[in-house]
Structure 1
Amino acid sequence: MARSLRYVDPVLRVQSQITDRDCVLLDWLAEHGVLTSVQIAQALFPSLDYAQERLRSLVGLRVLERFRPSRVGGGSFPYHYVLAQLGLEVIAAQRGEHLERGYRDRARRRRWQLTNRANLAHLVGVNGFFTALAGHARIRPGCELARWWSARQCQQMGAFAGEDADVAERTYIPKSRPDGHGIWIEDDSQIPFLLEYDTGTERPISRLVDKIDGYEDFARVAGRVWPVLFWLPGPVRERHLHEELTDAGVRYPVVTATHGAGNPADAVWWLHRRPGRRLRLAELGGQNLIAVVR
């Protein structure tokens, strides 16, 4: 008599083959959508070759899928990675989440939305900002990216409410929509911040200044003044933004740096209305903020 084949649940099977580092990556992709091979290597691996080898294995396990956008004028970008259907199921199992009806088509729909979105480059740029911080923390003792929130998380009602928040704070929906929110820890410094990632396509530049009204409203409701970090495409746009901020009389703490300046943890930040050298991310708090909001 032929022996019956024993069914093995695909999620249980693959869980025995993924590492803690793989789980971090899957969790990031579940929340932030897409990461490139270069970003993943910087944040989680000792080298690009090592990262690419593991990523090929995860694609082979069918927890990840990848695509490679073409560049205008020829060539292509690095591979972009998203969760495959099995990856979504693994994350749901780890979080104890119930998969809604029709979930088996969720990964395909999610990938279509990501690959066809007009602002894919913007999303990848935002995620690259945070993976650069994660990569810095990976090799620097005393540093940690303690929080990385997506734009979606930031826009939820009461997202920033503390444990002792009142009704107004718990029901508050931010008027400005940051591209991300993080908490950076370096030694004894803990810096919460709100990120505005600028590609240079939002013109006139006064539209960037107009966003500050929403952050002032957030500070009023939440009782917290967190610096707004503008990550800009170049020094000319950065200088023009500071000129516009001055003309508008902005006193809220606005900080700027450019995409090519270096790692966002380093001394690349120009705090508006503060003369002198550029600051490290860990310095964007305490007396430096107090000096510019007075």
Structure 2
Amino acid sequence: MGITQTATQSRIWALTHAPRGGIDVASELRRLMPRDRWLLELLHEHQVFTTEQIAALGFDHLHTARNRLVLLNQRGLLARFRDGVRPGSQQWRWTLDLIGAAYLAARNDEPEPKTAVIRRRINRLASWPGLAHQLGTNGFFVDLAAHARHTTGAQLGVWWSERTCRTVTGELVRPDGHGLWTEDGHTCSFWLEYDRSTEKAHQVTAKLDGYAALHRATGLDHTVLFWLDSPGREASLRARLAAHPAVTSGTLAVATAGSGTEHPAGPVWAPLEATDRVRLAHLQPPST
């Protein structure tokens, strides 16, 4: 089997054809370490991570992560891609390649994936306009998970992708993610809106209509978090969000953070009904 680099919009290293004799998942199982299987599951749920994100999630050293990822790429389990940027190099982005997708399909008793289908998926992901948003959303949860790895009493108990969120929210609202964060005995369950200033303020505010409808339909009282890319963006949105009927009635608890550089577990969250910032775990559900 050959892994080649293609000169498209992005530099992509992935299988171009199936191995001679077909995909031998059984043989690959003998070489998969528990951390490899964990990573395949993670990519199946969340699509794409950078090298640094994967290292933060499951490795003690960046170079160890790089070496393992390259090996998994050479074996056709993972594909990697990045844009050609100058000066310097962009971080590699990692996603499932043919053998990795075949392993998951076999485990789930699903049809074996076709090389052309996987290749198209990788190409679409590499050129996807929403890639930066997806990496940013994943990075938010990576920061929490990495913090929990090294902090006693901290845990990211739930981490759902947008796709998994939709199994609960349906068409009412489209959160970028859902999490359950615990630290020092305090817990916050939340929906995440990861904002990169690509939508107008009224469009962002209108999302609360969907969260209010979801609350009425299901009774879920998760706090709605708006992770914003600048203090200016936060300031421009807070008044609009605070005036929403679902907020003024106490139906929804909403908090914002607007530096874009602080750690999401820290005291960066400003509930709409307060001025002081608190740690993520200290955010409270709606009062009604």
Task: Bin the TM-score by the shorter chain.
Answer: 0.7 to 0.9
Instruction: Give the 3-state SS of the residue equivalent to 1:264 in structure 2.
Output: coil
The share of aligned pairs that are identical, in percent, is 38
The corresponding residue for 1:179 is: 176
Q: CA deviation at 1:74?
A: 5.1
Is 1:236 aligned to residue 247 of structure 2?
Answer: no
Partner of residue 32, structure 1: 46
Q: Deviations over 1:49-100 (max 9, x none)?
A: 22111111211222111011245x7544200001110001112233x23126
**Of 134, 137, 158, which aligns to 1:126?**
137
**In the alignment, is residue 284 of structure 1 matched against residue 283 of structure 2?**
yes
Q: Distance in 1 between matches of 2:262 and 2:87?
A: 27
One-letter identity of the residue aligned with 1:266: G
Query: Aligned to 2:97, which of 71, 74, 84?
Result: 84
Aligned to 1:268: 268
> Does the 8 Å CA contact 1:180/1:195 hold for their aligned counterparts?
yes
Report the TM-score, using the length of structure 2 for normalisation.
Answer: 0.84
8 Å CA contact 1:183–1:191 kept in 2: the answer is yes
- Check whether the contact 1:256–1:270 (CA below 8 A) recurs between aligned residues: yes
CA contact (8 A) 2:55 2:65 kept: yes
TM-superposed deviation, 1:122: 0.8
Match of 1:57 among 42, 66, 71: 71
Q: Unpaired segments of 5 or more residues in structure 1?
A: 1-6, 161-172
List per-residue Cα deviations over 1:206-230 (Å, max 9, x = no partner).
2111110110111111112111111
Can you list the C-alpha shifts for 1:84-134, whole angstroms capped at 9, x where unaligned?
10001112233x23126x634332121022012111111111111111111
Please give the secondary structure, in 2, of the residue aligned with 1:268: coil
Correspondence 1:98-117 to 2 at 5 A: 98-99=110-111, 103-117=114-128
Q: Structure 1, residues 235-256: CA drift from partner, whole Å, max 9, x if none?
A: 1101111122234453321111
Q: Which structure 2 residue ranges, 5 or more long, are not aligned?
A: 1-20
Distance 1:21 1:208 in 2: 38
Match of 2:58 in 1: 44
SS in 1 for 2:210: helix
8 Å CA contact 1:43–1:136 kept in 2: the answer is no
Distance 2:47 2:259 in 1: 21
Mapping of residues 131-170 of structure 1, within 5 Å = 131-156=142-167, 159=168
> In structure 1, how many angstroms separate the alpha carbons of the residues matched to 2:240 and 2:206?
10
- More strand per residue: 1 or 2? 2
CA distance in 2 between partners of 1:48 and 1:218 (Å): 41
SS at match of 2:111: coil
Q: Distance between the aligned counterparts of 2:259 and 2:57, measured in 1? A: 17
Whole-Å Cα distance in 2 between the matches of residues 229 and 245 of structure 1?
11
C-alpha contact 2:234 2:257 (8 A) present in aligned 1: yes
Which of the residues 202, 205, 209 maps onto 1:209? Answer: 205
Which residue of 2 is the match for residue 223 of structure 1?
219
Partner of residue 5, structure 2 = none
Q: How far, CA to CA, are the matches of 1:187 and 1:113 in structure 2?
A: 42
Deviations for 1:131-167, whole angstroms, at most 9, x for unmatched residues?
11111111112222222111112123xx26xxxxxxx
Q: 1:270 to 1:97 in 2, by over 3 A?
A: farther
Q: Is 2:196 the partner of 1:199? A: yes
**How far did 1:40 drift?**
0.7
